[in-house]
Amino acid sequence: MKNCSWVISKVFTEWMTVCITHVRYTTAGLRLRMCQTFYNNIPHTSVSGLYHSTRHATGRVRPWTRSSYATGAMLSAILMLSLVTTGCDSSDDPYAVPEHVSDEELTSVPEWAQDAIWYQIFAERFRDGDPDNQPDMVSIDGSWPHEQPESWAPTPWGHDWYAHDEWAGDTDLDFYEWVHMRRYGGDLQGVLDQLDYLQDLGITAIYFNPLNDAPSMHKYDARNFRHIDVNFGPDPEGDRELMAQEDPADPDTWVWTAADKMFLKVIEEAHQRDIRVIMDYSWNHTGITFWAWQHILEHQEDSPYADWYQIDRFDDPGTDENEFEYSGWAGVPELPQFRRYDSVDEFDHGDLVPGDLHPDLKRHIFAVTRRWMAPDGDVERGVDGFRLDVAELIPVDFWRDYRKYVRSINPDAILIGELWWADWPDEMMDPTDWLQGDIFDAIMNYRWYMPTRQWLGGAVPGLVNPSEYIHHLDSVSTGVREEVLRANMNLTASHDSPRFSTSIYNPVPYKYRVNPRENPDYKIHRPDERTWRDVRLILAQQFTWPGAPHVWMGDEFGMWGADDPDNRKPVIWPDLEFEDETTHPFDRDRPRDEVTADMELWNYYRYLIHLRRDNPVFSRGELNILLADDDRNVLIYERTMQGADTIADADPDGAGRSGEAGSNRAIVLFNNHESETAEVTIPVEDPQRWIEVLDLQAISRHHSDDGLEVAIPAKSAAIFIKSGEE
């Protein structure tokens, strides 16, 4: 007989539990509950007609009666007998864990990801391309803060960030509360309109923050996982009507909304420009408007979704009080958290979490994953992978099955985990166990940025010399395969951290009191020249070091802002007008800042991006440390490739500063001393063939029998590429 376990298991789940007691694990400990069973739809099979559903059109499920139990048991027995006689195959189930994925398909890191240059888009704040799809009170209902005034309206794109909206006076909230109500109307049309911009910048991969339908501006509080947010598409009201006709638990009823179709268009247009696209999902929690959560609120423990979530106590209908208690992510009640389904083993934060998610929840997640990876069965139209939120909190059995499932659909898809703090704010997590080929391909590599900010940016706790800096970078690479190191997303900022420039402007401990609420001395205005100098040094390191460089949208224009929510200002596009920033959220003194794009910095970003793209030695080359001079605070490293082709001019338009063809070897030099010029000798053959291509500051150089003799100013960097010409 063929493998029928997936159907038989489903049938057993449906009717055997009627007459047995099962154990449910929650954060409150072990609890016995008499089982109440419901009919659910099972996957379509050749004999599915024998097992009919009693699901209501609304998606609610009718509980078993004694007579329906007898009928159900009989039908289930008939079904299993039919399976024995007719056979089935797990390959018929599109949402099952695949029985076999080859080791190569499972463990390999996508080649494209090892050369990627990432651009992160937070759609609500990227660009408003459609004035007719603005958020309204209906679309934000369920987001925090919950008491939106009737006068609420979207905020103009160029509004002074800290200045009050007209409706803010109708709340009793302070700035850092009511600002979360703001919506600016960014959408997917805005992304489509700027794909040529991203292509010209040199971006090869886009990481989208959550696009799923949700009431908040960040979208981690999903209303549903299966659809793009209605306000990101052209027809919000029409999309709501379409979704209302679906059964959210049944993928066969899911349709493509106008917003969904627009995202598919974004994928298509990006792929035509050789730009990959990944989505951001949190399989750890939902919002309180999520369809399954709403069903639980109405039906409590009688809901078939009650076992999906960490629920500590259900309401007792025999009392006047509401005893319902549950766990939200990080204690946030708007983000109810999924529970470990089959394990109560203890674990420490940062360890692999034992267990799995509920089978039906897991199946739902797999259905959403397939929907976006292979729309209507076409992998070419789908996304190229996922960034996965709060990954350390999700059970490891789920992650291992999830990787198998993703790779069975597209072996070239990437999975990037958010693995951040082991002990905030002092110790970052060691992601090694997640990067062995069975869970993730790469991580968001905050562990690269923190020591780099300390050494080149002067942040505390300080790294005073290059040997200590290199030791830190070596330590975070231990136990990680080379292809993983190349694919790790090296980022200077994101939606979860201060803007890059503001992070350097305030050299305080990373991610600790990095806002004017907790730190009255925290500077929120345009950074100074020292900051921009150090920003350029760090960028030179980022684009010449192993790992895939990442740009948080708007950083290339020199945007500034403290930690969330100040890091989520609308992008300051050069063709748009912005009010000067004159306001402080706590009415403190601050300078007036003109809000305009820094096109000189933008050109520097673009130059480094194309330098890396056109010189694969920076993404693929072996790394060798040539000099770490602690006395003079000088670091020199080399990137080399064997057998590489001659490398093209670093500027495709001939407007850059390289001006020479490169080769399979590059040398990067940093003088991080605050005041003294450093004279160094770089031992290379044919020193006349080495071209300095960064031109950050004027350096003097000459050739000798010992190699390149270089005098480099304080707080500067240089990049030498070996010309292909004699």
Residue among 651, 643, 653 at smallest CA distance from 617: 643
pTM for the model stands at: 0.88
Question: How far is 574 from 595, CA to CA, in rounded Å?
Answer: 10
pLDDT band for position 642 (cuts 50, 70, 90): confident
In a domain, 206, yes or no: no
The rounded radius of gyration (Å) of the Cα atoms in the chain is 28
Whether residues 674 and 568 fall in one domain: no
Q: Report CA-CA distances (Å) from 265 to 108, 277, 359, 432.
A: 29, 12, 32, 36
Q: What is the 3-state secondary structure of 580-640?
A: CECCCCCCCCCCCECCCCCHHHHHHHHHHHHHHHHCCHHHHCEEEEEEEECCCCEEEEEEE
- pLDDT higher than 90, residue 655: no
Decide if 714 contacts 669 (C-beta within 8 A): no
pLDDT tens digits, one per residue of 250-284: 999 999 999 999 999 999 999 999 999 999 999 99
More confident residue, 724 or 525: 525
Task: State residue 199's pLDDT score.
Answer: 98
Task: State residue 723's pLDDT score.
Answer: 82
Whether residues 610 and 631 fall in one domain: no
Tokens describing residue 338 = 């999924």
Decide if 232 contacts 217 (C-beta within 8 A): no
At position 223, the amino acid (one-letter code) is R
Tokens describing residue 383 = 């996304």
pLDDT band for position 342 (cuts 50, 70, 90): confident
pLDDT tens digits, one per residue of 625-637: 999 999 999 999 9
CATH number at residue 499: 3.20.20.80
Tokens describing residue 62 = 């009718």
pLDDT band for position 492 (cuts 50, 70, 90): very high
Question: How far is 371 from 468, CA to CA, in rounded Å?
Answer: 47
Question: How far is 622 from 328, CA to CA, in rounded Å?
Answer: 45
Domain of residue 564, residue span: 492-614
Vertex 702: Cα angle to 700 and 707 (nearest 5): 125
Tokens describing residue 285 = 């929690």
Whether residues 564 and 608 fall in one domain: yes
Backbone angles phi, psi at 667, to 5 degrees: -130, 135
Task: State residue 5's pLDDT score.
Answer: 46
Between 22-31, 368-377, 543-552, 683-692, the lowest mean confidence (pLDDT) is in 22-31
Determine how many CB atoms are found less than 10 A away from the CB of residue 21. Answer: 9
Whether residues 574 and 631 fall in one domain: no
Question: How far is 539 from 237, CA to CA, in rounded Å?
Answer: 44
Q: What H or E segment, with its residue span, contains residue 505? A: helix 500-505
Whether residues 502 and 596 fall in one domain: yes
Task: State residue 82's pLDDT score.
Answer: 52
Whether residues 515 and 602 fall in one domain: yes
In a domain, 125, yes or no: no
pLDDT tens digits, one per residue of 612-621: 999 999 999 9
| Greatest pairwise CA separation for the chain in angstroms | 96
Backbone angles phi, psi at 26, to 5 degrees: -135, 175
Mean per-residue pLDDT, 61-75: 44
Distance of CA 390 to the CA centre of its chain: 10
Question: How far is 591 from 604, CA to CA, in rounded Å?
Answer: 26
Helix and strand element counts for the chain (H, E): 20, 22
Task: State residue 40's pLDDT score.
Answer: 36
In a domain, 527, yes or no: yes
Return the SS3 of 678. strand
Question: How far is 266 from 245, CA to CA, in rounded Å?
Answer: 26
Whether residues 498 and 608 fall in one domain: yes
DSSP 532-585: HHHHHHHHHHHTTSSSEEEEETTGGGT----STTGGGPPP--TTS--PPB---T
Question: How far is 169 from 319, CA to CA, in rounded Å?
Answer: 39
Choose one of 592, 614, 636: the last residue of a domain.
614
Mean per-residue pLDDT, 584-607: 97
Determine how many CB atoms are found less than 10 A away from the CB of residue 715. Answer: 22
pLDDT tens digits, one per residue of 413-441: 999 999 999 999 999 999 999 999 999 99
Could you tell me what percent of the chain has a pLDDT over 70? 84
Residues present in the chain in total = 726
Question: How far is 624 from 626, CA to CA, in rounded Å?
Answer: 6
Tokens describing residue 716 = 């500067």
- pLDDT higher than 50, residue 41: no
Backbone angles phi, psi at 302, to 5 degrees: -80, -5
- pLDDT higher than 80, residue 21: no
342-344-349-351 Cα dihedral, nearest 10 degrees: -60
Mean per-residue pLDDT, 680-691: 94
Is the previous residue joined to 565 through a cis bond, with omega within 30 degrees of 0?
Answer: yes
Task: State residue 657's pLDDT score.
Answer: 37
pLDDT band for position 345 (cuts 50, 70, 90): confident
Domain count of the fold of the chain: 3
Q: Which region holds residue 633: left if phi is over 0, alpha if psi is between -120 and 50, else beta?
A: left
pLDDT band for position 208 (cuts 50, 70, 90): very high
In a domain, 703, yes or no: yes
CATH number at residue 321: 3.90.400.10
pLDDT tens digits, one per residue of 133-146: 999 999 999 999 99
Backbone angles phi, psi at 644, to 5 degrees: -75, 155
Q: Report CA-CA distances (Å) from 682 to 49, 261, 666, 667, 705.
A: 77, 55, 12, 9, 11
Whether residues 606 and 501 fall in one domain: yes
Contacts for 699 with CB less than 8 Å, ≥ 6 apart: 692, 710, 711, 712, 713, 716, 718
DSSP 196-247: HHHHHHT--EEEEPP-BS-SSSS--S-S-SSSB-GGGSS-HHHHHHHHHTS-
Half-sphere exposure of 136 (CA within 13 A, CB side): 9
Q: Are strands 622-629 and 707-712 parallel, antiparallel or unpaired?
A: unpaired
Task: State residue 725's pLDDT score.
Answer: 59
Mean per-residue pLDDT, 15-42: 35
Contacts for 244 with CB less than 8 Å, ≥ 6 apart: none
Choose one of 579, 614, 649: the last residue of a domain.
614
In a domain, 387, yes or no: no
Mean per-residue pLDDT, 473-479: 94
Whether residues 594 and 635 fall in one domain: no
Between 45-59, 117-131, 446-460, 558-572, the lowest mean confidence (pLDDT) is in 45-59
Q: Report CA-CA distances (Å) from 645 to 238, 572, 609, 662, 714.
A: 53, 39, 19, 10, 34
Between helix 66-86 and helix 5-15 the angle, nearest 10°, is 170
Whether residues 691 and 593 fall in one domain: no
In a domain, 43, yes or no: no
Question: How far is 267 from 41, CA to CA, in rounded Å?
Answer: 32
- pLDDT higher than 80, residue 2: no
In a domain, 259, yes or no: no
CATH number at residue 623: 2.60.40.1180
Residue among 311, 291, 212 at smallest CA distance from 249: 291
Decide if 353 contacts 393 (C-beta within 8 A): yes
In a domain, 454, yes or no: no
Whether residues 648 and 712 fall in one domain: yes
Determine how many CB atoms are found less than 10 A away from the CB of residue 270. Answer: 23
Between 18-22, 406-410, 422-426, 574-578, the lowest mean confidence (pLDDT) is in 18-22
404-418-216-552 Cα dihedral, nearest 10 degrees: -120
Question: How far is 553 from 198, CA to CA, in rounded Å?
Answer: 10
Mean per-residue pLDDT, 8-15: 46
Distance of CA 308 to the CA centre of its chain: 23
Choose one of 614, 639, 656: the last residue of a domain.
614
Whether residues 658 and 624 fall in one domain: yes
- pLDDT higher than 50, residue 113: yes
